[in-house]
Structure 1
């Protein structure tokens, strides 16, 4: 009986609601081979999870939750598989969460502090990235792979 309650707790604790310490409404633009979005979104996070909620005309169209896996409406997958399917396979596994939170990418490579934020320019064989983080705007563009993220405070 004791094992039954333990198993019950483990199964249903994953379904419990998350308490996010930060809730921010943003204007979000995403352009990738598989995602095209430009409208209002919410970025919610705590010290363990990040949730990106995308809306069009006030209706939720997608939730992307990042923890040790990335979950979308179609199911959960590893971060590297998400990059492979939705972004670009050679990106570091933590690139999406770092972009959403405005943190440095590629371990801070070529980071230059500017105007209360920073910029990175990453030129490698398979990527050509311009990444800018300022107090109210995050901009990511990979020219080689035609991927854009723009996140602006409302």
Structure 2
């Protein structure tokens, strides 16, 4: 009986300790961010956090968190959440597609790689329609997004 109790106790301790080890790993990276939209104008340092189901940008000014942009199934700014399409329409002046902002932040090709040109340090994309005129470039840890019609600029440089 004493051995059975010890085995059950050891199993309980193993389960307890292993559950703590299964936390989602989040990577952080310091970055310089420039964001200019009709609603937001920002140029300073911040942190990019990437996890399995989370992308988060913290914007700093004078070593204080100015605001936090968090992407999960929605996009939240300082706790105020929007659907991804509504966020795009409100902050980029066009709906685009759900993961548009996340693709920019993670420096992935946008619009499923449409008009993607490989360069020596990354890639560029020029995409035009009646609603937008986009130039997007990723090069050695630097990302630059410019949309001429709505005058939106967004760039990030990894430090």
Q: TM-score range by the shorter chain?
A: 0.7 to 0.9
Question: Stretches of 4+ moved more than 3 A in 1?
Answer: none
Cross-structure match for 2:80 = 75
Cross-structure match for 2:9 = none
Alpha-carbon separation, structure 1, partners of 2:29 and 2:129: 33
Aligned residues: 137
1:42 and 2:47 correspond: yes
Cross-structure match for 1:9 = none
Within 5 A, what are the aligned runs for 1:4-43?
A: 19-43=24-48
Cross-structure match for 1:3 = none
Alpha-carbon separation, structure 2, partners of 1:90 and 1:79: 8
Alpha-carbon separation, structure 2, partners of 1:149 and 1:19: 28
Cross-structure match for 2:133 = 128
Q: What is the deviation of 1:77?
A: 1.3
User: Structure 2: 5+ residue runs without aligned partners?
Assistant: 1-22
Alpha-carbon separation, structure 1, partners of 2:54 and 2:106: 11
| TM-score where L is the length of structure 1 | 0.84
**Conserved 8 A contact 1:119-1:130:** yes
Cross-structure match for 2:103 = 98
**Conserved 8 A contact 1:70-1:77:** yes
Structure with greater proportional helix content: 2
Cross-structure match for 2:17 = none
**Highest Rg: 1 or 2?**
2
Cross-structure match for 1:84 = 89
| TM-score where L is the length of structure 2 | 0.81
**Conserved 8 A contact 2:145-2:153:** yes
